[in-house]
Amino acid sequence: MKETGIVKILVSNLQKTYRNRQGEHVHALAGMDLQVREGEFMCLLGPSGCGKSTLLHIMAGFVRPSRGEVLIDGKPVAGPDPRYLTLFQNYGLFPWRSVLGNVEYGLEVQGVPRRERRSRAMEYVSMVGLDRFVHNHPHELSGGMQQRVALARALAVDPDILFMDEPLGALDAITRFRLQEEISRIWRDKGKTIVFVTHDIEEAVYLADRIAVMTPHPGRIKSIVPVPMGRPRDRTHPDFLRVRDQVYSELRLKPENVLDYCI
């Protein structure tokens, strides 16, 4: 599903300053402006420590800005809201609940009747390909499977927005590729607005409609790189490589220097 022209998230003159352990003022974000359209897949890309996660957490309502504001559907974000959910690297699954029990949890909190929530949870378990593991517990699953459970749990409550904070960062390369394909497919099917933090350039090009490239500390939006490609995407296609190289250029990197960027 393509994004609309409607602005879903508006970030205006956002700044975030905090004190470190030495009592010094640290400027995490400075003069940040950004628009995310309804139904868009937006990636926040930049080197470690540039404020990507801080920006995401302010959007999601977990952190308050020092100055500026975030509007969602024209209303200021004052705190977390069940209309938008956040996925982290650590999955956040309940070890005593099965796959099905974890996916049902949000629906249970919402007071959805047992039969209906069981049916909806099974729909999303199937969507992420875990039908055969529905009665397994998290410790019996691989990291990639646990992240699928977390994704199914988030989708089951039908949020307007998914905030994803490097959710694939701890996975091996092959599992990461497969889950990128899965997330892209689910986005096409469900048309959710997604804001996805990553420092993986090819991951951003594979997933995003647009990539917000951030500067090193303090974080600012350096540029917005559109990804004018259909889905699914071929990582070897000349158009893919062209956009990837454009992002490298925005970051003033050559492909052989990518290790320095990640440190």
Q: What is the pLDDT of residues 246-260, one digit of tens each?
A: 999 988 755 544 444
Our count of domains for the chain comes to: 1
Residue 261's identity, in one-letter code, is: Y
Predicted pLDDT at 233? 92
Q: pLDDT tens across 109-129, in order? A: 888 999 999 999 999 898 888
Q: Is residue 182 part of a domain?
A: no
Residue 96 has pLDDT above 90, yes or no: yes
Q: Is residue 42 part of a domain?
A: yes
**Average pLDDT value over all residues in the chain:** 88
Q: Is residue 216 part of a domain?
A: yes
Residue 34 has pLDDT above 80, yes or no: yes
Q: Is residue 209 part of a domain?
A: yes
Q: pLDDT tens across 199-241, in order? A: 899 999 999 999 999 988 788 899 999 999 998 899 999 999 9
Angle of helix 173-190 relative to helix 143-156, nearest 10 degrees, comes to 10
**Is pTM, for the whole model, over 0.85?**
yes
Q: Is residue 54 part of a domain?
A: yes
Burial 117-128 (b: 16+ CB within 10 A, else e): beebbbebbebb
Alpha carbons 119 and 172: distance in angstroms, whole number: 32
Residue 75 has pLDDT above 50, yes or no: yes
Predicted pLDDT at 260? 46
Structure tokens belonging to residue 84: 């938008």
**Mean pLDDT confidence for 159-182:** 87
- What is the domain-level CATH number for residue 26? 3.40.50.300
Q: Is residue 258 part of a domain?
A: yes
Q: Is residue 210 part of a domain?
A: yes
CB 12 within 8 A of CB 33: yes
* Strand duo 25-37 + 7-19: pairing: antiparallel
Give the residue numbers spanning the domain of 214. Answer: 1-83+161-172+192-263
Q: Is residue 19 part of a domain?
A: yes
CB 196 within 8 A of CB 208: yes
Residue 22 binned pLDDT confidence (cut-offs 50, 70, 90): confident
